[in-house]
Amino acid sequence: MTLSIEDRTARFTLAQEIAREAGALALGYFERLSTLAVEFKHGGQDVVSIADREVEVLIRARIAEAFPEDGVLGEEDGLVEGKSGVLWVVDPIDGTSPFLNGLSHWCVSIAVAFAGEAEIGVIYAPVSDEFFAGARGLGAFLNGAPIAVAPTRAIEDGLLGFGSNHRIPPEDVGRFVTVLLEAGGMFYRNGSGALMLAYVACGRLVGYYEQHINSWDCLAGLCLIKEAGGWHNDFLAGEGMLEGNRIAGGAPQMKAGLVALLEKAGASTETIA
């Protein structure tokens, strides 16, 4: 079961409009960082500001106005179930730590899911004004131009996007980095999983791996990768939508190399191999 082309197109158009509006609001806050109050949600680097909350309020209001029966899952305000079967999955500012430290690597991430599949993915990085958009069967685009995953590079000659967080034991993170470097590879990390996934979709990174990530951080990026000719694991397996999951994806030719690295690091390859 899939969304009709009419329903998909209507929501794709709206997702792009909302992402630009949300990006403009977030950028306004970014330009006056010294005024923002910051809170720690769960310790470590898990922070939130008024910018995150107000941008999500805007996104939710725009969705409710256009599609009141759709559900919304957001990082800040959780799940509001709908009646249509369509679920919007949003991160108002992915990369809050870079955002609050005055770094440019943050974005607005908006996905639309239906029947367990990501139908739409939109990621907007306001500082660089890079706008990634894709929808199932319609392709993936950067600022209106078609994009594709890296055509030939693999683990040993490309950059692998890599995410980590304080939910994962440091020794697990260290083992994977060690085997990656031993294999001649190199990792890239900028603090925004969504933005790194967009970089995979346009061929800047050969792939991405993170032991645990939330759906609002990655679902839009996974849609982009698939529409750009890449692959990704079954992220939504089990309770992935609400509880998060392992994530792996990238250009087709790097899959075997990534699986080999995970096996050598003693990490599970379930839902990947």
The model's pLDDT over 60-96, given as tens digits with 9 standing for 90+, comes to 999 999 999 999 999 889 999 999 999 999 999 999 9
Chain CA centroid to CA 216, Å: 7
The pTM score is 0.93
Q: Is residue 233 within 8 Å of 248, Cβ to Cβ?
A: yes
Tell me: is residue 168 an annotated ligand-binding position: no
Asked whether residue 157 is marked as a ligand-binding residue, the answer is no
Known binding residue 70? Answer is no
Domain with CATH 3.40.190.80 in the chain: 155-264
94 is known to lie in a ligand binding site: yes
97-121: pLDDT as tens digits: 899 899 999 999 999 999 999 999 9
For residue 61, what is the enclosing H or E element? helix 50-66
Query: Is 119 annotated as belonging to a binding site?
Result: no
Tokens coding 25: 């609001």
Backbone angles phi, psi at 108, to 5 degrees: -100, 130
Q: Given this structure, which CATH class describes domain 5-146?
A: alpha beta
* 203 Ramachandran zone, left/alpha/beta (phi>0; psi -120 to 50): left
Q: 155-264 has which fold? A: D-Maltodextrin-Binding Protein; domain 2 (3.40.190)
What's phi and psi for 259, nearest 5 deg? -60, -40
pLDDT (tens digit, 9 = 90+) per residue, 18-51? 999 999 999 999 998 887 766 655 444 445 678 8
